[in-house]
Chains A and B, each alone.
Chain A
Amino acid sequence: MTLLGMHFAPRFHATFFALLIFLLIGSSAGMAQDGEKLFRANCASCHKLDKKLIGPALSGVTERWESRENLVAWIKNSQEYLETSGDAYATALFEEYNGSIMPAQAVNDEDIAAILGYIENPPIAAAAPVVVGDPTTTSNDPDYSIYWLAGFIVLALILIRVLFSLSKSLKRMNAEVEGTEVKITSYFGSISKWMGNNKRASLGISIVLLVFVLVQTWYGAKGIGVYQGYAPEQPIKFSHKIHAGDNGINCVYCHHSAEKGKNAGIPSVNVCMNCHKGIEEGSLYGTEEIGKIYEAAGYNPETAAYDKPQMPIKWVRIHNLPDFAYFNHSQHVIVGEQECQTCHGEVESYDYPMKQYAELTMGWCINCHRETEVKTASNDYYSKLHQQLKEKYKDDPERKKFTVEDIGGLECAKCHY
Chain B
Amino acid sequence: MANEKTYWNSLEQLNGDQAFLETAEKEFKDPIPVEEFVGKQEFDSNTTNRRDFLKFVGFSLGAATLAACETPVIKSIPYVMKPEEVYPGVANWYASSYMDGSEFASILVKTREGRPVFIKGNRDSNITKGGISARGVSSVLSLYDQARYQAPQKKEGGETTWAELDAEVMMKLKEVAASGKTIALATNTIASPSTEAAIKTFQDAFMGERSVNEYDENGEVVGATTITASSVERYTIDPISYSGMREANAKNFGKRVLPNYDFSKAKVIVSVGADFLSTWLNANSYSNQYTSRRDPDGAWMNRHFQFETNMSVTGSNADVRAAIKPSEYGKALANLHNALAKMAGTSGKSFEIDNDNNAAEKIQQAAKELWAAKGASIVVCGSNDPNHQMIANEINNLLGNYGSTIDLNKSLNLSQGNDYNLSQLTNGINQDRVGAVILYGVNPVYNAPAASGMTEALSKVGLKVAIAERPDESTVLCDYVAPDVNFLEAWNDYEVVTGEYSLAQPVIKKLFPAGTRQAQSTLLRWAGAENTDYYTFLTSNWEKNIFTKQSKESFFKAFWNTSLHNGMVSLASSSEVADGTTFTSGASDALASISKEKSDGWELQLYTKTSIGDGRAANNPHLQEMPDPISRISWDNYITMNPADMLDQGYETRTAQETPAHLAKVLAGGQEVTLPVVAAPGQKRNTIGIALGYGRTEAGKAGNGIGQNAYSMSTFKSGNVGYGVTGVSVEKTGETYAIASIQTHHTMMGRKIVNETNVTTYKNVDRSDKQNGWNPIPVLKNAFGEETPMGEVDLWSAQPGIARHHLWGMSIDLNACTGCGACVTSCHINNNVPVVGKDEIRRTRSMFWLRIDRYYTSDADPNKNDGEKNYSEMENPSAYPDAVFQPVMCQHCNHAPCETVCPVAATTHSDEGFNQMAYNRCVGTRYCANNCPYKVRRFNWFNYNADPMFTDVNPSQDDLGRMVLNPDVVVRSRGVMEKCSLCIQDVQAGKLQAKKEGRPVKDGEIQTACSAACANGAIVFGDLNDETEVAKRATHGRSYALLEEVGTRPNVSYLTKVRNRSGEEV
Write out, one digit per residue, whether chain B residues 47-83 have a CB within 8 A of any chain A CB (1) or not (0): 0000000000000000001001101111111111111
A261-B88, A296-B80 are known contacts. Are A413 and B970 too (CB-CB below 8 A)? no
Can you name the residue of chain B whose Cβ is closest to the Cβ of A315? B76
Shortest Cβ distance from A404 into chain B, in angstroms?
A: 12
Shortest Cβ distance from A386 into chain B, in angstroms?
A: 9
Pairwise interchain contact A381-B998, C-beta atoms closer than 8 A:
yes
Sampled A-B contacts (28; CB under 8 Å): A1-B564, A227-B71, A268-B79, A268-B81, A268-B82, A269-B81, A297-B81, A298-B80, A310-B80, A310-B81, A312-B77, A312-B78, A313-B78, A316-B73, A317-B76, A323-B970, A330-B996, A384-B805, A388-B803, A412-B916, A413-B916, A413-B918, A417-B968, A417-B969, A417-B970, A417-B981, A417-B984, A417-B988
Shortest Cβ distance from B50 into chain A, in angstroms?
A: 25
Pairwise interchain contact B995-A413, C-beta atoms closer than 8 A:
no
Write out, one digit per residue, whether chain A residues 60-99 have a CB within 8 A of any chain B CB (1) or not (0): 0000000000000000000000000000000000000000
In angstroms, Cα B969 to Cα A385, docked, is 28
A232 contacts partner chain B, Cβ-Cβ < 8 Å: yes
The one of A225, A326, A384, A413 that contacts B968, using a Cβ cutoff of 8 Å? A326
Pairwise interchain contact B988-A412, C-beta atoms closer than 8 A:
no
Which residues from chain B contact A324 at a C-beta distance below 8 Å? 919-920, 970
B1051 contacts partner chain A, Cβ-Cβ < 8 Å: no
Pairwise interchain contact B65-A260, C-beta atoms closer than 8 A:
no
The one of B73, B83, B985, B995 that contacts A381, using a Cβ cutoff of 8 Å? B995
Pairwise interchain contact B80-A297, C-beta atoms closer than 8 A:
yes
Which residues from chain A contact B992 at a C-beta distance below 8 Å? 328, 330-331, 335
In angstroms, Cα B73 to Cα A385, docked, is 43
Which residues from chain B contact A127 at a C-beta distance below 8 Å? none
A6 contacts partner chain B, Cβ-Cβ < 8 Å: yes
Can you name the residue of chain A whose Cβ is closest to the Cβ of B508? A3
A378 contacts partner chain B, Cβ-Cβ < 8 Å: yes
A315-B77, A317-B74 are known contacts. Are A257 and B87 too (CB-CB below 8 A)? yes
- Of the listed residues A3, A270, A388, the one surrounded by the most CB atoms of chain B closer than 10 A to its CB is A3
Which residues from chain B contact A316 at a C-beta distance below 8 Å? 73-76
Total interface residues in chain B, CB < 8 Å: 61
Chain A stretch 395-417: residues in CB contact (< 8 A) with chain B: 407-408, 411-414, 416-417
A3-B507, A335-B996, A380-B998 are known contacts. Are A412 and B921 too (CB-CB below 8 A)? yes
A365 contacts partner chain B, Cβ-Cβ < 8 Å: no
Pairwise interchain contact A6-B83, C-beta atoms closer than 8 A:
yes
Pairwise interchain contact A268-B80, C-beta atoms closer than 8 A:
yes
A379 contacts partner chain B, Cβ-Cβ < 8 Å: yes
Write out, one digit per residue, whether chain A residues 1-24 have a CB within 8 A of any chain B CB (1) or not (0): 101101010000000000000000
A394 contacts partner chain B, Cβ-Cβ < 8 Å: no
B509 contacts partner chain A, Cβ-Cβ < 8 Å: yes
Partner-contacting stretch, out of B97-105, B907-915, B1037-1045: B907-915
In angstroms, Cα B78 to Cα A311, docked, is 11
Which residues from chain A contact B82 at a C-beta distance below 8 Å? 6, 8, 268, 270-271
- Ranked nearest first, the 5 interchain pairs of A and B with the lowest CB-CB distance are A413-B916, A261-B89, A261-B90, A262-B89, A268-B82
Pairwise interchain contact B970-A314, C-beta atoms closer than 8 A:
no
Which residues from chain B contact A334 at a C-beta distance below 8 Å? 995-996
Which residues from chain B contact A270 at a C-beta distance below 8 Å? 79-82
Main secondary structure of the interface of B (DSSP, over half): loop
Chain A stretch 289-305: residues in CB contact (< 8 A) with chain B: 296-298
In angstroms, Cα B128 to Cα A248, docked, is 54
Write out, one digit per residue, whether chain B residues 800-812 have a CB within 8 A of any chain A CB (1) or not (0): 0001110000000
The one of A261, A330, A382, A413 that contacts B917, using a Cβ cutoff of 8 Å? A413
A230 contacts partner chain B, Cβ-Cβ < 8 Å: yes
Shortest Cβ distance from A378 into chain B, in angstroms?
A: 7
Pairwise interchain contact A3-B94, C-beta atoms closer than 8 A:
yes
Pairwise interchain contact B507-A314, C-beta atoms closer than 8 A:
no
Q: How many A-B Cβ pairs are below 8 Å?
A: 172
Pairwise interchain contact B69-A257, C-beta atoms closer than 8 A:
no
The one of B76, B803, B916, B998 that contacts A411, using a Cβ cutoff of 8 Å? B916
A125 contacts partner chain B, Cβ-Cβ < 8 Å: no
A224-B65, A413-B910 are known contacts. Are A260 and B90 too (CB-CB below 8 A)? yes
A263 contacts partner chain B, Cβ-Cβ < 8 Å: yes
Chain B stretch 761-794: residues in CB contact (< 8 A) with chain A: none
Which residues from chain A contact B981 at a C-beta distance below 8 Å? 413, 417
In angstroms, Cα B907 to Cα A417, docked, is 12
B1000 contacts partner chain A, Cβ-Cβ < 8 Å: yes
In angstroms, Cα B69 to Cα A257, docked, is 31
Total interface residues in chain A, CB < 8 Å: 59
- Of the listed residues A311, A385, A408, the one surrounded by the most CB atoms of chain B closer than 10 A to its CB is A408
B453 contacts partner chain A, Cβ-Cβ < 8 Å: no
In angstroms, Cα B992 to Cα A326, docked, is 13
The one of B81, B984, B994 that contacts A6, using a Cβ cutoff of 8 Å? B81
Pairwise interchain contact A408-B994, C-beta atoms closer than 8 A:
no
In angstroms, Cα B71 to Cα A312, docked, is 23
Pairwise interchain contact B83-A408, C-beta atoms closer than 8 A:
no
Can you name the residue of chain A whose Cβ is closest to the Cβ of B93? A1
In angstroms, Cα B994 to Cα A296, docked, is 38
In angstroms, Cα B992 to Cα A417, docked, is 16
In angstroms, Cα B912 to Cα A304, docked, is 57
Can you name the residue of chain A whose Cβ is closest to the Cβ of B968? A326
Pairwise interchain contact B78-A224, C-beta atoms closer than 8 A:
no
- Please give the residue numbers on chain A whose beta carbons come within 8 Å of chain B beta carbons, in ascending order: 1, 3-4, 6, 8, 224-225, 227, 230, 232, 257, 260-263, 265-271, 296-298, 310-317, 320, 323-324, 326, 328, 330-331, 334-335, 378-385, 388, 407-408, 411-414, 416-417
Pairwise interchain contact A412-B89, C-beta atoms closer than 8 A:
no
Pairwise interchain contact B805-A416, C-beta atoms closer than 8 A:
no
Pairwise interchain contact B72-A320, C-beta atoms closer than 8 A:
yes
Can you name the residue of chain B whose Cβ is closest to the Cβ of A336? B995
Pairwise interchain contact B908-A411, C-beta atoms closer than 8 A:
yes
Which residues from chain B contact A320 at a C-beta distance below 8 Å? 72, 74
In angstroms, Cα B919 to Cα A310, docked, is 41
Shortest Cβ distance from A317 into chain B, in angstroms?
A: 4
Pairwise interchain contact A380-B1000, C-beta atoms closer than 8 A:
yes
Shortest Cβ distance from A176 into chain B, in angstroms?
A: 46
B335 contacts partner chain A, Cβ-Cβ < 8 Å: no
In angstroms, Cα B969 to Cα A297, docked, is 34
In angstroms, Cα B1032 to Cα A170, docked, is 98
Pairwise interchain contact B984-A3, C-beta atoms closer than 8 A:
no
Pairwise interchain contact B919-A416, C-beta atoms closer than 8 A:
yes
Pairwise interchain contact B89-A257, C-beta atoms closer than 8 A:
yes
Which residues from chain B contact A4 at a C-beta distance below 8 Å? 83, 509
B84 contacts partner chain A, Cβ-Cβ < 8 Å: yes
B865 contacts partner chain A, Cβ-Cβ < 8 Å: no
Shortest Cβ distance from A413 into chain B, in angstroms?
A: 4
Which residues from chain A contact B65 at a C-beta distance below 8 Å? 224
In angstroms, Cα B411 to Cα A165, docked, is 107
B999 contacts partner chain A, Cβ-Cβ < 8 Å: yes
Pairwise interchain contact B908-A312, C-beta atoms closer than 8 A:
no
A296-B80, A323-B970, A331-B992 are known contacts. Are A381 and B1000 too (CB-CB below 8 A)? yes
A388-B805, A411-B910, A413-B918 are known contacts. Are A1 and B995 too (CB-CB below 8 A)? no
Pairwise interchain contact B805-A385, C-beta atoms closer than 8 A:
yes
In angstroms, Cα B82 to Cα A263, docked, is 14
Shortest Cβ distance from B979 into chain A, in angstroms?
A: 12
In angstroms, Cα B88 to Cα A186, docked, is 68
Pairwise interchain contact B805-A266, C-beta atoms closer than 8 A:
no
Pairwise interchain contact B804-A267, C-beta atoms closer than 8 A:
no
What 16 new A-B contacts, CB under 8 Å, besides A383-B1000, A417-B917? A224-B65, A266-B76, A266-B78, A268-B81, A269-B79, A310-B81, A315-B75, A317-B74, A328-B992, A381-B998, A384-B1000, A388-B803, A411-B911, A412-B918, A412-B921, A416-B916
Pairwise interchain contact A388-B90, C-beta atoms closer than 8 A:
no
Pairwise interchain contact A312-B564, C-beta atoms closer than 8 A:
no
Pairwise interchain contact A261-B908, C-beta atoms closer than 8 A:
no
Which residues from chain B contact A388 at a C-beta distance below 8 Å? 803-805
B963 contacts partner chain A, Cβ-Cβ < 8 Å: no
B29 contacts partner chain A, Cβ-Cβ < 8 Å: no
In angstroms, Cα B87 to Cα A8, docked, is 16
